Amino acid sequence: MDIAAALSLLGQAIGVVKDLRELDKGFDAAALKAKMADLYATLADVKIALSDARESIHERDLKIKELEKKITALSSGEACPLCEAGHLKVIASQEHPDFAFAGVQERTLRCTNCGHTEKHLYDPNDRPKRR
């Protein structure tokens, strides 16, 4: 159930209360009891519907947080190939032992989430390569 179902049930409950008010004028104990039972059942359904809705809102909030994390990771560098939650950040950079003459660097990157490290070649004349 969702919020729409809860609202429709609440509408039903209000209808029952309206009926009860009418009954009050020409007091009929049996009819009153039946309407009260109706009201309790409807309100119990409203409660279930609302707690279901709260649950799914909570699940959505978690999903949104997860997606926000991914967006941050993906938009602020290369995503970690291991955990896919963090992103790789350069923690060290040095000249490549063989290709320093061409400006090539060897960069060490560490995942901001799981701590995984890997080395990439950085060639200013080319796109970064993984070793």
Distance from C-alpha of 119 to C-alpha of 105, rounded to nearest angstrom: 10
Beta-carbon neighbour count of residue 122 at 10 Å? 17
Q: How far is the CB of 89 from Zn ion (least distance, A)?
A: 11
**Binding string to Zn ion for residues 102 to 121, with x set by CB under 5 A, is what?**
---------x-xx-x-----
Q: How far is the CB of 37 from Zn ion (least distance, A)?
A: 57
Nearer to Zn ion, 89 or 116 (CB): 116
Q: How far is the CB of 110 from Zn ion (least distance, A)?
A: 9
Q: How far is the CB of 118 from Zn ion (least distance, A)?
A: 10
- Write the CB contacts of 105 (distance below 8 Å, at least 6 apart in sequence): 93, 94, 95, 96, 121, 122, 123, 124
- Contact by Cβ (8 Å): 9, 45: yes
- Contact by Cβ (8 Å): 103, 94: no
Q: Is 3 in the site for Zn ion (CB under 5 A)?
A: no
Nearer to Zn ion, 6 or 86 (CB): 86
Q: Strand 88-95 to strand 117-122: parallel, antiparallel, or no bridges (unpaired)?
A: unpaired
Q: Which of residues 49-88 bind Zn ion (CB under 5 A)?
A: 80, 82-83, 86
Binding site for Zn ion (CB under 5 A): 80, 82-83, 86, 111, 113-114, 116
